[in-house]
A and B are shown apart, each in its own frame.
Chain A
Amino acid sequence: MRLDPPTFQLPIQAAEGAAEIDGLYYFVYWFSVIFFVAIVGAMFYFVWAYRRRKGVKAEPTKDLTKLELFWTITPLIFITYLFHVSFAVYIKNSTVAEGAMEIRVRGKKWAWEFEYPTGSREPGVLYLPVGKPTKLILSSEDVLHSFYVPAFRAKRDAVPGVYSHIALTPTVKGEYQVFCAEYCGTSHSGMLAKVYVVSEEEYAKHLDDIDKPPPGQTPAEWGKTLFEKSGCPTCHSRDGSRLVGPSLKGVAGTMQPIAGGPPAMADENYLRESILRPQAKIVEGYTQQQMPPFVFKEPQLDAMIAYLKTLK
């Protein structure tokens, strides 16, 4: 399922509270349409009806204090109502349900990483069981990011050094888009992820499979999937073009010039170190040491290295 909106203005509703938010949205929308037509209609009518005519002068303005007070106080009542209903929905949506499942969400330039209650980490893809109250605990490893899922009507900034959270209960199975909504540098628009809302059984099966290679895939094929889900292509090209980081085309098995040190052979140990501790050796010409450290389990690391060796 894609982000195709079920209404012209708003995307699909896939979490609890989304329908109420949309109700508020459309309430204000129709209020605005009516108000706008009234104001602009009156404006156009007056401009036409009182267009300048020879010998006709404008009528002097009378004292209209009562009218002034009317249009000062009436909107006050209306906005008080708007504030009240929107705050009620907001506080309900931000309240974490008792016993909610906690999932860690880490933002880093330029990928999302998720950690399930089992401790398994997964980049770029989040599986959630349908109907289960969930608390996403957000943080950032570098600069400000913002976790945004339009279908859930949910958004919260990920701030370095601080935890923030989103309370969430997905209601409709499907695949939903995650965006980063707080500008975070070069590949801000590439900092995407997917949420899959699935049944309890599928969720449990996914957690079992998460650290194992998918059946029928070679390690290199699995490595390619991990490479892409981890957001690596936002900085490292595979065709030789220069992005924020060096291209990985033809790197494995060659000598790499290292800034402030002797050249290093890009063997398995070098690749492993560059994934786990990116600051250890920086390729010459790339002084902006931007890459965050990544955490993988051993089979995943093996798969990544196997894939990197195929990039000729």
Chain B
Amino acid sequence: MATVATSPEHHDAHGDPNASFLDVAKGPMSWIVTLDHKRIGIMYLISVTVAFALGGIFALLVRAELFTAGKTLMDADTYNRMFSLHGVVMVFLFIIPSIPAAMGNIILPIQLGAKDVAFPRLNLMSLYIYIFGACFGLYSMVHGGVDTGWTFYTPYSSSDPACGQLTPCGPPGVGSPSAVIPMTLSAFIMGFSSILTGVNFLATIHKMRAPGITWRRLSLFTWSLYATSVIQILATPVLAITLLLLTMERFAGLGIFDARRGGDPGLFPHCVWFSSHPAVYIMIVPGMGVVSELIGTFSRRDIVGYMFIAMSSLGLALLGFLVWGHHLFVAGMSEYATMVFSALTFLVAIPSGVKIFNWVATLYKGSISLQTPMLWALGFIFLFTIGGLTGLFLGMLAVDVHLHDTYFVVAHFHYVMVGGTVMGFFGGLQDWWPKFTGKMYDEKKGVAGWALVFLGFNVTFLTQFVLGSRGMPRRYYDYLPEFQQLHQISTVGSWILGLGFLILFWNFAESLMKGPRAPRNPWGSAALEWQTPSPPPLFNFVKDPVVNRGPYEYHLATDAELDEGMADLDAELAKANGADPVKKTEPAKSEPAEKAEPAKSKGDEGDDEEKS
């Protein structure tokens, strides 16, 4: 196809170099074989959003089944598949690739002032590996799903009752009859996508930064992706090995985890959590990065404790490898091993706390605007603080014995994963949406969606803390009558939560179809990605940027950098609504140079580099 702009050579050959990346080429082929990180990111975004919707439907079904004790909608086997698929889809298909692969791909190179990621072809390959892996997951779902939980604990997962009939694995087993092998292969394959994305981002951050972007001028989102990439590269291979052993055991009767053949079933949880606990930080650290961006942009103040936040991301990445044992406090470890893991687990509170303190301190004497993305960031701090504090309960050995594997744990990790990562994901999406789609969305619907999600989430999961502390175990299809009232409140909360997400998706769809054109810098941010047009040109900047300040140094940013977008937005909104322009927060200035001047005043970048 002559119009496909997939590589520098193609692009240079024709067209307006300043045309938006969405306009340089059209048609399906321009997407399928694109090497543009923004298009790849958008394809990731669509994939993870579909996965999120699917996982969300499973979650709603789980909650609906729990509305009454005993059978409400489905039988026990179906319920067990529903909660397992909810976990598998949300963990492997949504949350791990959500912020790093989707949003990181779209935003990271722009924040670095780069034309693309370091290895664009590898980037496209990562996307296709992810989709290839996801196909195995879908195959498993239509062939009976899995009922093992997303952790695939052996011997339930590895001991196939159909052994000897279809597969050569020896005597029939005592475990799950469901389609475990395609699902573990799915996670195995998607792991490669994760590793390659990590390699790509590390190389990009090291080698592709624009002149003037020193390590102290990296955005905190970039720092968080740096930490995440390190975990992705180091932890994912262990998960791959573990899942491969599980697959071999189930298919060929390897006997690593099977006590009947001299294996040790207790080994599997160690292997899984050695890789999956770091993966928990793959899930949450990028969310923290997004929140740092949002706090900076919407309070227009340099982030307090920039280096402390950046280093706390790396600290979490390191600690993440040392605390896996806290998932196994009641699994039969020696008391002294649990002692070490408990002590290390408490250390996680330090970098997490440092981030919270610094975000709140940044608000002090800021200039705070409560636009939709900021609401998500504040929601993140609110919910993640609860998630973090309830982690203290679980870190305490004596208390964990009671709370382990109850709804308390379910509520705790949902406060971290949904209250944290999903809040960060949607906050980032609402923040960067105008940048990569070039369209604004309706603020009112955005706020309404956020409010319903926030309310529904708390109704759903706050009740589960009480369920758990009263002794309700997790993964239960049926429960004792005294738990019914709290379960029903939780289920009603899940409907509010679902409604909130529907409004959000409606808002995004409406924005795509008839949203007003987004200005260059609708939020008045000092960060680099807002200094280029919305949507950006194929190579992100009209002129190669030269940077002479950090992304949050509002006192160094010129009025032009902060304001030029606002005037545009007001005019657009006025046109769209047929009403008076909304009040400007700061006097708008028309800058004749804005079109040609992508980033910052240049010249003394050498001096600044020395300083930092």
Contacts and interface: CB of A to CB of B under 8 A. Distances in A.
A154 interface: yes
A1 interface: no
Nearest to B357: A71
Interface in A158-173: 159-162, 164
Nearest to A76: B350
A115 interface: no
Interface in A132-158: 142-144, 146, 148, 150-151, 153-157
Contact of A46 (B77, B305, B368): B368
Contact of A181 (B339, B392, B473, B554): B473
Where chain A touches its partner, the secondary structure class is: mixed
Interface stretch (A19-27, A201-209, A265-273, A296-304): A19-27
Contact of B392 (A17, A32, A183): A32
B478 A159 contact: no
B475 A183 contact: yes
Interface in A71-90: 71-72, 75-76, 79-80, 82-83, 85-87, 89-90
Contacts of B347: 79
B24 to A, nearest CB: 37
Contact of A148 (B77, B156, B473): B473
B80 A185 contact: yes
A272 to B, nearest CB: 23
B305 A188 contact: no
A40 interface: yes
Interface in A25-58: 25, 28-29, 31-32, 35-36, 39-40, 42-43, 46-47, 50-58
A9 B361 CA distance: 33
Given A36-B389, A59-B365, A184-B156, A289 B475 contact: no
B586 A288 contact: no
A2 B477 contact: no
A290 interface: yes
A183 B153 contact: yes
A52 B368 contact: yes
A75 B172 CA distance: 53
A39 B349 CA distance: 15
Contacts of B531: none
A236 to B, nearest CB: 14
Contact of A186 (B77, B149, B305): B77
B389 A47 contact: no
A256 interface: no
Interface residues of B, number: 96
B353 interface: yes
Contact of B363 (A5, A47, A54, A155): A47
A261 B109 CA distance: 68
Contacts of B362: 61
Contact of B402 (A2, A21, A160): A21
A99 interface: no
Given A25-B469, A87-B342, A188 B330 contact: no
Nearest to A153: B402
A50 B381 contact: no
A189 B11 CA distance: 60
Number of contact residues on A: which range applies?
Answer: 35 or more
Given A156-B330, A290-B161, A3 B363 contact: no
Nearest to B301: A58
Contacts of B156: 143-144, 183-185
B363 A43 contact: yes
Given A50-B365, A52-B368, A87-B397, A179 B177 contact: no
A303 to B, nearest CB: 27
Contacts of B304: 61, 64
A247 interface: no
12 contacts: A32-B389, A35-B389, A39-B381, A43-B363, A57-B554, A57-B555, A60-B554, A87-B339, A89-B398, A93-B398, A155-B405, A189-B476
Given A154-B401, A159-B259, A181-B473, 13 more contacts: A2-B482, A8-B466, A39-B381, A46-B363, A52-B368, A90-B397, A90-B398, A143-B156, A143-B175, A148-B405, A177-B480, A183-B156, A288-B177
Interface of A: 2-5, 8-11, 17, 20-21, 24-25, 28-29, 31-32, 35-36, 39-40, 42-43, 46-47, 50-61, 64, 67-68, 71-72, 75-76, 79-80, 82-83, 85-87, 89-91, 93-94, 109, 142-144, 146, 148, 150-151, 153-157, 159-162, 164, 177, 179-190, 287-290, 292
Interface of B: 76-77, 80, 147-149, 153-156, 159, 161-162, 165, 172, 174-177, 259-260, 264-266, 299-305, 308, 330-332, 335, 338-339, 342-343, 346-347, 349-350, 353-354, 356-358, 360-370, 378, 381-382, 385-386, 389-390, 392-393, 395-399, 401-402, 404-406, 466, 469-471, 473-480, 482, 554-555, 585-586
Leading 3 A-B pairs by shortest Cβ distance:
A161-B259, A150-B471, A86-B396
